[in-house]
Amino acid sequence: MSAQDTMLLTVVLRHDQRQNLAQLQGRLDDNDWWHGFPPAGCEIASWVVAMGLGQIVTLRLSAHLLPAVNVELERRAWGTFATDCHPSYDFLPVRERLTRESDARRNSLPAR
């Protein structure tokens, strides 16, 4: 997958705090979560736990796989997590360019 052919998708998996950890893990096992998500063809860019919130997963995938991600979330996550999905992109190269452009503008100003 080249960077031009992919998108990032950030998925926030909010814990259902009405269930304890054993209940949540049992439900994930019943839904084959650990083997079924993310679907084939998706790369996990990051997966972190935010205490008190849940898990935040960022996937790198071809846009044509977006429906498959949606189906797997419906199939495997619902009932354990509330899900929020946010298409995103890698801002780091843009930030680096904007910093260079800012530096160039500042360096071209007359001295005070």
Domains of the chain: 3-108 (3.30.70.920)
Q: What is the pLDDT of residue 5?
A: 83
- pTM confidence score: 0.80
Length in residues, the chain: 112
Instruction: Read off the tokens for 67.
Output: 């429906």
Distance CA 82, CA 24 (A): 12
Find the helix or strand (DSSP H, E) in which 33 lies: helix 33-36
pLDDT at 4: 64
One-letter amino acid of 16 = D
Given this model, what pLDDT does residue 47 score? 98
Q: Is the peptide bond before 38 cis (omega within 30 degrees of 0)?
A: yes
- How does 17-36 read in b/e, with b if 16+ C-beta sit within 10 Å? eeeeeeebeebbeebebeee
Residue 109 has a pLDDT of 80
Residues of the chain with pLDDT under 50: none
Q: What is the pLDDT of residue 54?
A: 93
